[in-house]
Amino acid sequence: MLQIYTSGATSGSFRGGKQKKGNVTSEQEEEEQPLQAVLVADSFNRRFFPISKDQPRALLPLGNVAMIDYTLEFLTSTGVQETFVFCCWMSNKIKDHLLKSKWCRPTSPNVVHIITSDLYRSLGDVLRDVDAKNLVRNDFILVYGDVVSNIDVSQALQEHRHRRKVDKNISVMTMVFKESSPGHKTRCEEDDVIVAMDSKSKRVLHYQKTQGLKKLQFPMNIFQHGSDEFEIRHDLLDCHISICSPQVAELFTDNFDYQTRNDFVRGILVNEEILGNQIHLYVTQDGYGARVSNLQMYDSVSLDMVRRWVYPLTPEANFTDQQGQGCTHSRHNVYRGAEVSLGHGSQMEENVLIGRDTSIGANCHISNSVIGNNCTIGDNVVLDRAHMWNNVHVSSNVEIHQSVVCDGAVVKEAVRLNKQCVLAYNVVIGPNLSLPEGTVVSMHHPEEEEEDDDDEFLSDDQEVGHSKDKTRQKAFNPAEVGPEGKGYIWKASMNDTEDEELAQCLWGLVLNPDPESDSESEASEESQDRTFQLEVLGTLQRGLEENIVCDNLVLEINSLKYAYNITLKEVMQILTRVVLEYPFQQQGTQLTTLQYTGSLLPLLKTWSPVFKNYIKRAQDHLDCLSAVEELFLEQDTHQTAMVKVLMKMYQLEILEEEAILKWFSTGATNDKSRQLRKNQGVMRRMSLWRKESEEDESSEEGECGR
Amino acid sequence: MELQAVLMAAGGGSRMMDLTYNTPKPLLPVGNKPLIWYPLNLLERVGFEEVIVITTKEVQKMISTDPKVKLDVKMKLDLVCIQEDADMGTADALRHIQQKVKTDVLVVSCDLITDAALHEVVDLFRAHNATLSMLMSKAHEFTETVPGQKGKKKTGEQRDFVGVDGTGKRLLFMANEADLDEGVVIRKSIMRKHPRMHIKTGLVDAHLYCLKKSVVDFLADNKSISSIRGELVPYLVRKQFSKSTNSPKVIDETHQNLKKNDSNISSRDEELLHLTQERSCWNDHRGDMSDAYHGGRLRCYVHIMDEGICYRVNTLAAYIEANRLAPKLFDEPAVHPSAVVSERCLIGADSIIGASCQISDKTSIKRSTIGVSTTVREKVKVTNSIIMHGVTIEEGCNIQGSVICSNAVIGRGADIKYCLVGSAQRIEPDAEVNITYHYKSITYNNCHKVSK
């Protein structure tokens, strides 16, 4: 029943419209039908530029094997019998690679069809084409060409089929996740998701990327599904493996605005009530699955591979079955290919993979690194987390830390590559140069890329060659790439964080287990006061500028009070503070005491009606005074001004004399405020007041005697 | 003394006014024992010797005088009265007795009927040196028909959302549906620390809390908090994850004050415990290497009962359900020895007959509770009903699915279905009262008698 096509057939209709779309086949047929997979060998983004200018991402070597081989091996081992590989960018290269690989041998259990089109711009386009060509007849697996995994999805598939049988095609997709706690190395910050699910049915209720969010919001309607147990999970790593029903392709056709799987998932969840489609998830605990979506991920996945987390896909397994790819595995995860020569005194500490025909000089120190085939490395070289591809030449006294060096690159004497540097194809660096962190060097000129921005996806090798000619005209900058260097510096990838730039940032965000995220905690209450204070300040400022009547100011402050839910007491304290700080606000903090009082006292006079509106009861007076005190405790250089302020407030009848006296006698709670009260000026004024009031009421005696 | 028990028995029972109109809630008979006996018994079973009972004057008076509400507990009861009309919340009550609180407290509500293993809650409290640990249970569906209600009551009540971590013990989130206009909002930092959060909705809070002493002290300083369940618990749950704010500082300070002022053994232990925690490599979570509890000092835990009985008798439906289940909770003879039961009558095994009852011939009693000193005459049929104390049921009555309050008199031949008869009411002979009559009219209004 299955027609086997010579692989390499390009786009075209594989099956005539013999079968109806998405028809429910009987169980028996289901068993007979081969498991299909759709492999998207294009990322539809430019994260790997400029590396992917010369080689499509799926063909980039990871552990000296092209990434697409991992994906195909994963699919085959999980039981896929028919794979459709969709290529767009540099499709010829991918086709050539696959034609040479074991997947295209007649014995391959997995029949690979290659479909190329220059018109694919997103995953959505690919799936719409799947629908148009009527390629899939049953549940299929959807992966990208850069997924590295050893997960056995057969159980997930079984669950998926079972759900579909029970619920009449309601479940359209089962996403595969791997459990890994936040901060895990292979978790990609950009891909971090939070998932709300129904604990019993494993149904996805809410799916959200968390990048840049501080608070996670879950709408109430997701909790209305009759179940009483939900789970919110942040310990999931998205493997970018999904088991899809045939409807998925149709849904992409129906919703022509769906571009990515993310669009699709969100769309399904939002329209769940209307369309009745559901998405489920499958969580594996011990499998390995990750998508190489940026260099950060490349770094971690590559190391995971060397550390054998992807077993049985290990470097020495040579699963691609290619001549000469074999290597030996010795302890501390050191792998050596054929004909590797190692100089005297060189150390391979741990997690090192060295490809065939590579020679390493003397006294080198290599750890956590992958070195490709036919490389030469000089003496006294330090490599840590270096990813070197094929035919790389490294001279002596070079240090490379967490960097990627592509095919044919040459690193000359005494060069130091700091973290997250990228040397793209055929770049020459040095000698005697230290590249700062995050430097990207390519033979392509960065501006050339802008020029052919429009037809970026129309990738023709010809065109690249053509543009190369153009760039030749521009000279290399020896200050950037060294006296003998060849290549152009691309924008340092780490410095730009704008949204637009992020798409081009090769390494992606660094995983910071940001401990500071705590500090945002419960800031809302505080900031509420703060914003209120700013609002009050703004109101008063405007009042001064536009000569607004105090009554109106009071009205505005009152409405602010309700808007921010501030108590009357706080309003008064904040008001006092704002007014007293007003001179500092306007003229800077370097005011002398004299200047301060000079500008403050008229203000007090202007705003006294506002004060009077809020300060009425005896307690209000005390609260106001304590606010004054608090402020002057902070501004200790201006303590002498306090007396004048108090005096003025008294004269303006904002504060009552009794309140001031009471505050003076009782309020001292700590050393500092006692100090404040001892202040000469304050003392004198107080005693003055005391006398006055004693004259008034002789009964007030010795209450504040000192 | 590790924990002091505090029993909150001052609630008015506002959600079942029909029953509490004459009898205060703590003294409502459930299985012929006052409601308050159940939590007291629970405490006594686990070995408490003393309990502070916060209650009203009225209840105190009745406990000391009324022989019908005999509390046969051996514990020492320290009755503290609060003003009934002061509208004090549970937190207010706790603040009221702050002087008496010397150690951590176990707060129980008087309407809790449960066979829960109390040690589970206390163990969580001890093991994690928690600030709060509480008991919750899966909500039960009430199956019995409630008097005065037509059909099944719709569960229009707002659900509580309770978030616990992967182990199901640590309490991470708590909110009522009514407050969640904008949906459930959770800070990412919490999800980082506890990447798996289970959100459960079908739970009832048993109103049983273990609280640190510092929390009681904190209450004394923060007079705005008036209810434990409504304000204090959500507050503590929220504060678990906020550093450098005022209130945990307050709690921290009181912790420190404790250490400074109090040189007794427990506080020295505390310090030692803290040191142990610091030095040990143990932590309470997987996935990262940070300190145990992520360095947080405020921790809330919850024990969720999967099975077993756990009822809060705060509605009529719960009251009826509790009466049905109460006999299973203690093993006493169903028929009190002092009751006079005629031999020619039928009493189901699931019924309870109280002390000095008189049950006459040809009577059938099924799935019912008959209170103390009740007289049941000939040819009476009682099914699925609760008859309180001192009720007289005349000949030939048929009572089904009803609640008859104390000292009521049911006239001969009356037919009562799904009704609630208020205390000291008289039902006319041959009256036929069923659900179609509004029960309130016969509950309170003495003059208004319903007859054929």
Q: Do the chains contact at A229 and B189, CB–CB below 8 Å?
A: no
What values do phi and psi take at B114, rounded to 5?
A: -150, 155
pLDDT at A5 over 80: no
Say which residues have a Cβ less than 8 Å from residue B292's Cβ, sequence separation at least 6: B277, B280, B282, B283, B284
Please check whether residue B178 touches A, CB under 8 A. no
Confidence of residue A131 (pLDDT cuts 50, 70, 90): very high
Mapped onto helix, strand or coil, the DSSP state of residue A6 is coil
Name every residue whose Cβ is closer than 8 Å to that of residue B79 and which is 6 or more positions away in sequence: B53, B55, B60, B63
3-state secondary structure B130-178: CCEEEEEEECCCCCCCCCCCCCCCCCCCCCEEEEECCCCCEEEEEEEHH
Contact B186 A199 (CB under 8 A): no
Confidence of residue B27 (pLDDT cuts 50, 70, 90): confident
pLDDT > 70? residue A583 = yes
Please state, in angstroms and rounded to a whole number, the distance separating the CA atoms of residues A400 and A632: 57
- CB proximity B221 to A under 8 Å: no
**β-sheet bridge partners, residue A194:** A208
Q: So what's the pLDDT on residue A19?
A: 42
- How confident is the model at residue A542, as a pLDDT? 81
Bridge-based pairing state of the strands B358-359 and B375-376: parallel
Mutate: best of A230, A236, A528, partner B, most B CBs <10 A = A230
CA-based torsion, A445, A447, A451, A453: positive or negative: positive
Q: Output the CA torsion sign for A437, A443, A448, A453.
A: negative
> Looking at A452-461, A464-473, B133-142, B143-152, which range is the least confident one?
A452-461
Stretch A254-273: mean pLDDT: 88
Q: Where is pLDDT greater, at A197 or A587?
A: A197
Which residues of B, range 145-174, sit inside 8 Å of A by Cβ?
161, 163
Is A182 in contact with B191 (Cβ distance < 8 A)?
A: yes
Q: Which residue from B395, B400, B418, B417 is spatially nearest to B409, judged by alpha carbons?
A: B395
Lowest mean pLDDT among A63-72, A415-424, B277-286, B334-343: B277-286
C-alpha torsion sign, points A180, A183, A187, A189:
positive
* Sheet containing A229-233: order of strands: A204-209, A193-198, A229-233, B196-200, B160-164, B171-176
| Structural contact between residues A371 and A355, judged by C-beta atoms closer than 8 angstroms | yes
Strands A236-244 and A140-144: antiparallel
Burial of A529 (0-12, 13-18, 19+ CB in 10 A): middle
Q: Which of residues 237-266 of B touch A (CB under 8 A)?
A: 238-239, 241-245
Q: What is the mean pLDDT of residues A19-24?
A: 42
pLDDT band at A184 (very low <50, low <70, confident <90, very high): confident
The residue with greater pLDDT, A208 or A658, is A208
Whether B242 sits inside 8 A of A218 (CB atoms) is: no
- Whether ipTM > 0.85 holds is no
Q: What are phi and psi of B80, to 5 degrees?
A: -115, 125
Contact criterion met (CB < 8 Å) for A229 and B188: no
- CB distance A186 to A304 below 8 Å: yes
What pLDDT sits at residue A253?
Answer: 92
Give the position of tokens 């010809």.
A462
The DSSP symbol for A299 reads H
| Confidence tier at B178 by pLDDT (50, 70, 90) | confident
- The reported pLDDT for the residue numbered A506 is 61
Burial class (CB in 10 A: 0-12, 13-18, 19+), A318: middle
The answer to whether A300 and A185 have CB atoms below 8 angstroms apart is yes
Residue pairs spanning A and B at CB distance below 8 A = 108
Mean pLDDT of chain A: 79
Chain A residue nearest residue B168, CA to CA = A231
DSSP reduced 3-state for B229 = helix
Measured distance CA(B339)–CA(B341) in Å, rounded:
6
Which chain B residue lies closest to A215 (C-alpha atoms)? B187
A592 pLDDT band (50/70/90 cuts)?
confident
Please report the pLDDT score of residue A494 as a whole number: 41
- The nearest CA of chain B is from the CA of A431 a distance in Å of 42
Closest to A194 in 3D by CA, of B288, B182, B187 = B187
Task: Using CB atoms, pick whichever of A181, A220, A521 lies closest to residue B189.
Answer: A521
Most confident residue range from A182-191, A340-349, B23-32, B56-65:
A340-349
Residues in chain B within 8 Å Cβ distance of A230: 198-201
Amino acid A225: pLDDT: 72
pLDDT band per the 50, 70, 90 thresholds, residue B264: very low
pLDDT score at A319 = 85
| B434 pLDDT more than 80 | no
Distance from CA of B224 to the nearest CA of A (A): 13
Interface of chain A toward chain B, CB-CB under 8 angstroms:
180-184, 194, 199, 210, 213-220, 223, 228-235, 513, 517-522, 525
State the best of A521, A529, A567, A569 to mutate against chain B, taking most chain B CBs within 10 Å: A521
Q: Find the closest chain B residue to A236 by CA distance.
A: B195
CA A145 remoteness from chain centre = 22
Contact predicate A533/A578, CB 8 Å: yes
CA distances A130 to A175, A255, B335, Å, are 19, 14, 77
CB pair distance less than 8 Å for B192 and A182: yes
- Closest-CA distance, B291 to chain A, in angstroms, reads 13
Kindly determine whether residue B192 and residue A183, on different chains, have CB atoms separated by under 8 Å. yes
State the Cα–Cα distance between residues B5 and A150, nearest whole angstrom. Answer: 56
Taking only the tens place, the pLDDT of each residue in B359-373 is: 888 899 888 888 888
Residue of chain B whose alpha carbon sits nearest to that of A199: B198
Q: For B289, which residue in chain A has the nearest alpha carbon?
A: A183
Mean of the pLDDT values across residues B264-280? 67
More confident residue, A302 or B420: A302
Q: Tell me what pLDDT residue A469 has.
A: 47
Of residues A313 and B332, the one with the higher pLDDT is A313
Q: How many CB atoms lie within 10 A of CB A167?
A: 12
pLDDT digits (tens, 9 = 90+) for A556-580: 888 877 777 777 778 888 888 888 8
Residue B451 has a pLDDT of 36
Both structure tokens of A183: 């901060």
- Secondary structure class of A247 (helix, strand, coil): helix
CA dihedral B106, B107, B112, B114 (to 10 degrees): -10
Using CA coordinates, name the residue in chain A closest to B196: A233
Q: What is the pLDDT of residues A344-375, one digit of tens each?
A: 999 999 999 999 999 999 999 999 999 999 99
- Count CB neighbours of B333 within 10 A: 9
- Smallest CA–CA distance, residue A518 to chain B, in Å, is 6
